[in-house]
Every structure is written in C-alpha cells, then in structure tokens.
Amino acid sequence: MRVSNINSVYSVPDKQESLPIKKSQNTKEEPAAVFERSNDSNKATYEKSTHIYDKATIQKLKAESERAHGNLRRLVEDLLRRQGKSIKLIDPFEVIDIDEQARLEAQNMIATDGPLGAEAVSQRIVDFAIAISGGDSSKLDSLKAAIDEGFSQAKKVLGDLPDICSQTYDLIMEKLDKWGESNE
C-alpha cells in the first residue's frame, strides 16, 4: 500500500477561550457512574466452533468421484472416436449412435458392483455427508434435506430420472437412517 500527498497540518491555538463560569451556591459534583466489582465468579467465555469435518475422507471421496467421472468421459470420447467424431467438435443436436462396445461398458459401470452403480454412488454420498458433518448425527435432518434438494434440482434439469437414481436415493436414505440410529 502506498500513501502520498499528505500535506495537511493542523495547528492548536496556544490560548483557548474559556467560557465564563457561573457561580452557584451548590457546586458539589456527583459521578455519572460508579464501578462496583461483582462477586460473581462466572466468567464470560467465547469458544471457537468445534465443527470438524473429515478432510482425509473427503479427499478420498473426491479422488474416487474424479476417477469414475474420468472413466465415463473416456467411454464417451472412445465412442465418438470410433465414429470419427470429437467431443469438442460435436453439434449438440447431433444424434450419436451407441455401439455395442459402449453399451456394454456403460452397463458394467452402472451394474450393482460397478463404480456408478446405486450401491457405490449411495455409499460415496453417505460417506461424504458423514464426513462433512464431522460425524455429528444431530445434523442428520440437514444432510437429508440437502440430498433431497440435490435430487430435486437434478429432476428439474433432466426431467424424469432413471430407475437407478431412485434406487440410489432409497439406499442413501436407508444408510443415513441406520447411521443416525446407531449414533443415538
């Protein structure tokens, strides 16, 4: 930071004019306030927030999510490449044929034991919710409300969601309820 061009100088007059003092018969002054020490031993304390979230779990979940997204992106790019197209040059209204190889890969990704299956996705979401809450089950209602809002927003953008999304939602709520019950 730079400060420049400060030239103002204020002068204080040597003599100050004083107002005439009125003489009155009673000149006794009383204090405006009197300090009295309290005998109360309670002290005011201020505590920092004790909310601690699990950074290691969040980083692990972020890495898993990025891996799953990368696999899905690779699947789409490979599909386009096999058709002589590029993701950067594709017309948003162009119809893309899904070949058998891409269909099978996608089916494996969303299978019960796949990285984008209802079980795996629901577990990542629940693990994230628990980690971000710091393991505090008193936040269960807030976590569930946030997840409801996320699914609601997805419906607004995408319209009707596929069955796998409903399965994922149900698993999330079931797992969160079990976590809440085990921490009561």
Burial string for 125-159 (b: 16+ CB within 10 Å, else e) reads bbbbbbbbbeebbebbeebbeebeeeeeeeeeeee
Side chain identity at residue 154, one-letter code: A
Q: Are 175 and 126 in contact (CB under 8 A)?
A: yes
Note whether 122 and 168 are within 8 A (CB). Answer: yes
Burial class (CB in 10 A: 0-12, 13-18, 19+), 37: exposed
Residue pair 122/172 in contact by the 8 Å Cβ criterion: yes
The pLDDT tens digits for 80-101 are 999 888 888 888 888 889 999 9
- For residues 151 and 31, which has the higher predicted lDDT (pLDDT)? 151
What pLDDT shows up at residue 9? 46
Band (pLDDT 50/70/90 cuts) for residue 2 is very low
